[in-house]
C-alpha cells in the first residue's frame, strides 16, 4: 500500500481522516502533545516548527502523499496570539509545501471558509478571499505561499465540521450535546449561516482531493443552515431535548475574532469530481452512539 502522511493526527479532523484513510493507505500520522491509540496508524510525535525534524520525517517515511490538517484553528486564539499562531498556520504549511515539492508528491492543505467576509455567499473558488479575522488571513497567506513554492498543492477550503472526536479533542457539537443533556439553555445564532459537514464526509473529500493536484476545492455541503437551525436538527437527530435551544444573535456574544455572517460554500466543483455529502440529517443520525 502507498504511504500517506497526515499531520495533526490527534486533532479532530486528522483523527477522523486517519481512520477513513487506512482502508486504502498505509497511514503515518504526526501529533504534537497528545498521543492517542489509533490501531494500524504509525504515529510520530513531532513539533512541526522543528523543520529539521520535519525534513527528517519526510526522509525516513518517503511518503507517497501528504494531507496537512495540523493548525491552531481557534479564531479567537489566533486573534489574540497572532505572532505565535502565524508560525504553525503559515510557516509550517510553507515548509510542508517545500518538502512535498522536493518529492513531487500530492499535497493537500486544509484551509477554511473563513477566508471570506460573509457578505456575498455562497462562495465559489473563484471568489476573491476577504477575511475579517486573523485566522482567515493566516489561511489566505498560507494558500498563496504554498502555491508559490509548489503549484501542485491542492487547497481544500473546509466548512464547519462536526462528528465523533478523540478523548482530548472536540468538534463544535460536543459542548452543545453536553449542555442539552444537562438540561441547560443553549443559545445559538440565528444570523450565522454555514454549509457544515461531518468529519467523515470531509475526510472523504480530502482523500478525493489527492487525485486532483493543483486544484482549489470547496468541501461544503449541499445544505446552507444557521447555527440555530443546525442545533435543532442535531437535537432531533440525536434524540436530545430541543426545548432548551434558544435563538441568539452574533452581536449578543462579544468575541475576540470578528465573525462573518454567511460563509456558505458553493462546492459544485467538488461535487462534479465525485464529492457527495449525504443529507445533513443522515450525517447527524450516523453519529448516534458515537457522541
Q: How far apart are CA 271 and CA 197, in angstroms?
A: 14
Range list of H helices, the chain: 12-21, 51-61, 75-80, 82-86, 92-103, 134-149, 173-181, 199-209, 227-237, 268-273, 280-285
| pTM (predicted TM-score) | 0.96
Q: What percent of the chain has pLDDT over 90?
A: 95
* Residue 38: per-residue pLDDT: 84
Q: What is the arithmetic mean of pLDDT over 273-277?
A: 98
Range with the lowest mean pLDDT among 23-32, 42-51, 168-177, 194-203?
168-177
pLDDT at 34 over 80: no
Asked if residue 259 lies in contact with residue 133, where contact means CB atoms within 8 angstroms, the answer is: yes
Q: How far apart are CA 39 and CA 285, in angstroms?
A: 25
How far is C-alpha 126 from the chain's CA centre?
20
Q: Establish how many alpha carbons lie within 13 A of residue 135's alpha carbon, considering only the half-sphere containing its beta carbon.
A: 20
Instruction: Tell me the three cell numbers of residue 7.
Output: 499531520
Dump pLDDT digits (tens) for 177-214: 999 999 999 999 999 999 999 999 999 999 999 999 99
Domain ranges of the chain: 3-161+197-218
Q: What is the arithmetic mean of pLDDT over 229-247?
A: 97
The model's confidence at residue 281, banded by pLDDT at 50, 70 and 90, is: very high
* Residue 37: per-residue pLDDT: 78
* Residue 14: per-residue pLDDT: 96
Bridging pattern class, strands 225-226 and 193-194: antiparallel
Dump pLDDT digits (tens) for 157-177: 999 999 999 888 789 999 999
The DSSP-derived string for 185-232 is -EEEESS-EE--EEHHHHHHHHHHHTTSTT-EEE---S--EEHHHHHH
Find the radius of gyration of the CA atoms of the chain: 18
Architecture of domain 3-161+197-218: 3-Layer(aba) Sandwich (3.40)
Mean pLDDT of the chain: 96
How far is C-alpha 208 from the chain's CA centre?
15
The model's confidence at residue 39, banded by pLDDT at 50, 70 and 90, is: confident
Asked if residue 117 lies in contact with residue 260, where contact means CB atoms within 8 angstroms, the answer is: yes
Q: What is the arithmetic mean of pLDDT over 38-52?
A: 94
Dump pLDDT digits (tens) for 109-157: 999 999 999 999 999 999 999 999 999 999 999 999 999 999 999 999 9
Q: How far apart are CA 217 and CA 206, in angstroms?
A: 10
* Residue 83: per-residue pLDDT: 98
Q: What is the arithmetic mean of pLDDT over 88-115?
A: 98
Q: What is the arithmetic mean of pLDDT over 229-241?
A: 97
Q: Is 237 exposed, middle or buried (0-12, 13-18, 19+ CB in 10 A)?
A: middle
Q: CA distances (Å), 10 to each of 90, 183, 233, 276, in order?
A: 20, 30, 28, 26
* Residue 19: per-residue pLDDT: 95
* Residue 170: per-residue pLDDT: 85
Instruction: Tell me the three cell numbers of residue 21.
Output: 484513510
Q: How far apart are CA 58 and CA 271, in angstroms?
A: 32
pLDDT at 35 over 80: no
Region class of 98: left (phi > 0), else alpha (psi between -120 and 50), else beta: alpha
3-class DSSP assignment, residue 134: helix
3-class DSSP assignment, residue 156: strand
pLDDT at 20 over 90: yes
Asked if residue 203 lies in contact with residue 12, where contact means CB atoms within 8 angstroms, the answer is: no
Question: How many C-beta atoms surround the C-beta of residue 168 within 10 A?
Answer: 12
* Residue 233: per-residue pLDDT: 98
β-bridge partners, 187: 246
* Residue 40: per-residue pLDDT: 87
pLDDT at 36 over 90: no
pLDDT at 100 over 90: yes
Amino acid at each position: 500500500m502507498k504511504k500517506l502522511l497526515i499531520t495533526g493526527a490527534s486533532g479532530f479532523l486528522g483523527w477522523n481522516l486517519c481512520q477513513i484513510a487506512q482502508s486504502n493507505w498505509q497511514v503515518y500520522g504526526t501529533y504534537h502533545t497528545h498521543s492517542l491509540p489509533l490501531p494500524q496508524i504509525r504515529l510520530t510525535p513531532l513539533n512541526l516548527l522543528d523543520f529539521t525534524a520535519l525534513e527528517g520525517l519526510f526522509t525516513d517515511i518517503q511518503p507517497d502523499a501528504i494531507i496537512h490538517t495540523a493548525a491552531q484553528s481557534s479564531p479567537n486564539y489566533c486573534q489574540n496570539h497572532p505572532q505565535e499562531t502565524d508560525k504553525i498556520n503559515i510557516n509550517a504549511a510553507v515548509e510542508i509545501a517545500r518538502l512535498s515539492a522536493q518529492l513531487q508528491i500530492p499535497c493537500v492543505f486544509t484551509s477554511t471558509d473563513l477566508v471570506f467576509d460573509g457578505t456575498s455567499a455562497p462562495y465559489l473558488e473563484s471568489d476573491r478571499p476577504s477575511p475579517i479575522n486573523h485566522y482567515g488571513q493566516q489561511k489566505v497567506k498560507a494558500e498563496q505561499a504554498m502555491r508559490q513554492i509548489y503549484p501542485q498543492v491542492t487547497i481544500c477550503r473546509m466548512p464547519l465540521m462536526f462528528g465523533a472526536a478523540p478523548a482530548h479533542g472536540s468538534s463544535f457539537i460536543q459542548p452543545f450535546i453536553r449542555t442539552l443533556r444537562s438540561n441547560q439553555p443553549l443559545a445559538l445564532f440565528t444570523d450565522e449561516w454555514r454549509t457544515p459537514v461531518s468529519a467523515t464526509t470531509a475526510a472523504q473529500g480530502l482523500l478525493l482531493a489527492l487525485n486532483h493536484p493543483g486544484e482549489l476545492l470547496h468541501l461544503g455541503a449541499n445544505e446552507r443552515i444557521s447555527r440555530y437551525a443546525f442545533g435543532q436538527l442535531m437535537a432531533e437527530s440525536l434524540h436530545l431535548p430541543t426545548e432548551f435551544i434558544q435563538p441568539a444573535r452574533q452581536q449578543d456574544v462579544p468575541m475576540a475574532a470578528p465573525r462573518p455572517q454567511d460563509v456558505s460554500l458553493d462546492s459544485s466543483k467538488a461535487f462534479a469530481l465525485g464529492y457527495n455529502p449525504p443529507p445533513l440529517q443522515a450525517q447527524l443520525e450516523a453519529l448516534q452512539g458515537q457522541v
